[in-house]
Amino acid sequence: MGITKTKVAIIGAGFVGASTAFAMALQQNASEIVIIDVNKEKALGEALDINHGLCFVGQMLVYAGDYSDIKDCDVIIISAGMGRKPGETRLDLAKKNLVVAKDITDNIMKYYTRGAILVVANPVDILTYKIQKWSGLPNGRVFGSGTVLDSARLRFSLAEKFNVDIRNVHGYVVGEHGDSQIPLWSSTHIAGMNVEEYGNLHHNTFTDADREKIKEEIKKAGATIIKNKGATYYAVSIAVNSIVETLLKNQNTIRTVSSVVDGIYGISDVAISLPSIINSYGVEEIIPFPITPEEEKLLRASADAVKAILNEVKDI
């Protein structure tokens, strides 16, 4: 039986891209990783640094390359882009990073033969929508990391609140990866019980104030980390690595990734995050999740917030 070879390209050797390559090397999720960056020396340095530790984790091919190495990739990760600076709006960031993303997309498609394109750079919903359109690939073949990290932050906050193993906490944050994101409290549960039931059973109430506090915590988590250490990259690289694993292993995992939606909940022609089945294709299916009328109202408002920015950058 032959060995299955898997190839991943990471475009962007900054904090997120380099951390993703490192996490992937530790997990041995791919047999080949190519790091592509406009700063070729930075890409080479990151590849060498990872290579020098491979004897402790396992053999794989990690190297700095160029866009011609996109050929025959199973997954192409776009992490290149500028971070949001103090005082900048999401619209300011979108305008800057869309210029970068358009150039990246053009270069990818010169050599693209197969594979899912995973967008990690921000604003992820805007970039996912535009790259999907620019690439000409079918819906779902291009998708973003979306609110996967926000959902993980929700689970972490609830695990702390109730002092339980985070793996027993399940819940989703949907909509925009940004200020209008929505925790789906109606489908959040611990050990099969909704959080109110679990809290009542263990004499640990869960009130509307608790909901609001956790909602604000997860919404501001990125800004809090940036204030303290300058950038976020460890958790997002772990989240991205988990997505890559399900792509490479065709696992049909459910994650709240961002993709272009067409009609679900009355929302169309915008990229937002919803619980979706992902496999080697990309987004195989967006799950029509049962949500409350209030959650649906908030979700539509979130989609409108993303559309408002898309309208401002429609000429890019």
Element (H, E) at 34: strand 32-36
Structure tokens at 246: 């399900």
Query: 207 by DSSP, 3-state: which?
Result: coil
Q: Catalytic site residue 177?
A: yes
- Cα–Cα distance, 205 to 201 (Å, whole number): 9
Burial class (CB in 10 A: 0-12, 13-18, 19+), 302: buried
- Cα–Cα distance, 172 to 218 (Å, whole number): 12
How do strand 169-170 and strand 173-174 relate by DSSP bridges?
A: unpaired
> Which of 177, 189, 202, 203 does the annotation list as catalytic?
177
Give me the sign of the Cα torsion angle 202, 151, 308, 85.
positive
Q: What residues have CB less than 8 Å from 146, skipping those under 6 apart?
A: 124, 125, 128, 177, 255, 256, 257, 258, 259, 272, 273
The full length of the chain comes to: 316
Which residues does the annotation mark as catalytic?
177
